[in-house]
Homo-oligomer: A and B are copies of this chain.
Amino acid sequence: MRYAWLRELAVPVPETLKSPLEVAAFEARQAAERLRFAVDEKMGEGYAAEKTGDGYLVTGGTTGVLYGAYALLRALRLGEEPPRGAQFPRCSLRMLNCWDNMDGTIERGYAGRSLWLEGDAFAYDPGRVRQLGRMLASVGINVLCLNNVNVHAPAQQLIGDFLPDLAAFAGILRPFGVRLMVSVDFSMPMQCGLNTADPLDSRVQAWWRERAGIVYAAVPDLAGFLVKADSEHRPGPNAYGRDHAQGANMLARTLKPFGGVLVWRAFVYNCLQDWRDRAVDRPCAAYDTYMPLDGKFDDNVILQVKNGPYDFQVREPVSPLLLGLKNTAMAVEFQLAQEYTGHQIDLYAMPPLWREVIDAVGADSLRAMAAVGNLGRDENWTGHPFAALNLFAFGLFAWDPGSDPGALIDQWTRLTYDLPEDQRKTLAGLLLDSRAVYEKYTAPLGLCWMVQPGLHYGPNPYGYEFDAWGTYNRADRNGVGIDRTAAGTGYACQYPESLARLYSDPAACPENLLLFFHRLPYGHVMPDGRTLIQRIYDDHFDGCEQAYAMARALQTLDLPEPDRSEALARMEKQVKNAENWRDVINTFFYRFSGVEDSRERKIYE
Contacts and interface: CB of A to CB of B under 8 A. Distances in A.
Nearest to A277: B604
Contacts of A592: 476-477, 591-592
A460 B466 contact: yes
A587 B276 CA distance: 10
A475 B475 CA distance: 14
A274 to B, nearest CB: 9
Nearest to A579: B276
A463 B453 contact: yes
Contacts of A275: 584, 604
A583 B477 contact: no
Interface in A413-470: 453-454, 459-463, 465-467
B591 A476 contact: yes
A276 B475 contact: no
A594 interface: yes
A453 to B, nearest CB: 7
B465 A462 contact: yes
Nearest to A462: B462
A462 B588 CA distance: 10
Nearest to A478: B594
A605 interface: yes
A275 B459 CA distance: 12
A474 B583 CA distance: 14
Contacts of A463: 453, 460, 462-463
A56 to B, nearest CB: 57
B604 A276 contact: yes
Contact of A584 (B466, B475, B477, B580): B466
A92 interface: no
Which of A465, A466, A476, A477 lies at the interface centre, i.e. has the most chain B CB atoms within 10 A of its CB?
A466
- In this complex, the interface size class of chain A, counting residues with CB under 8 Å from chain B, is 20 to 34
Given A475-B591, A478-B594, A276 B583 contact: yes
Contact of A591 (B477, B580, B583): B477
Nearest to A590: B476
Tell me whether chain A's interface is mostly helix, strand or loop, or mixed. Answer: loop
Nearest to A587: B466
Interface in A141-196: none
A231 interface: no
A403 interface: no
A593 interface: yes
Contacts of A580: 466
Contacts of A478: 594
Contacts of A461: 462, 466
Contacts of A583: 276
B584 A476 contact: no
B476 A605 contact: yes
A168 B587 CA distance: 57
B276 A477 contact: no
Given A276-B604, A453-B453, A593 B466 contact: no
A461 B604 CA distance: 19
A580 to B, nearest CB: 8
A213 to B, nearest CB: 38
B477 A467 contact: no
Interface of A: 275-276, 453-454, 459-463, 465-467, 474-478, 580, 583-584, 587-588, 590-594, 604-605
30 contacts: A275-B584, A275-B604, A276-B583, A453-B453, A453-B463, A454-B454, A460-B462, A460-B463, A460-B466, A460-B467, A461-B462, A462-B462, A462-B463, A462-B465, A463-B463, A466-B580, A466-B584, A466-B587, A466-B588, A474-B605, A476-B590, A476-B594, A476-B605, A477-B477, A477-B592, A477-B593, A477-B594, A478-B594, A591-B592, A592-B592
Given A460-B466, A462-B463, A477-B477, 16 more contacts: A275-B584, A453-B463, A454-B454, A459-B466, A460-B462, A460-B467, A461-B462, A462-B465, A466-B584, A466-B587, A475-B591, A476-B594, A477-B592, A477-B593, A478-B594, A592-B592
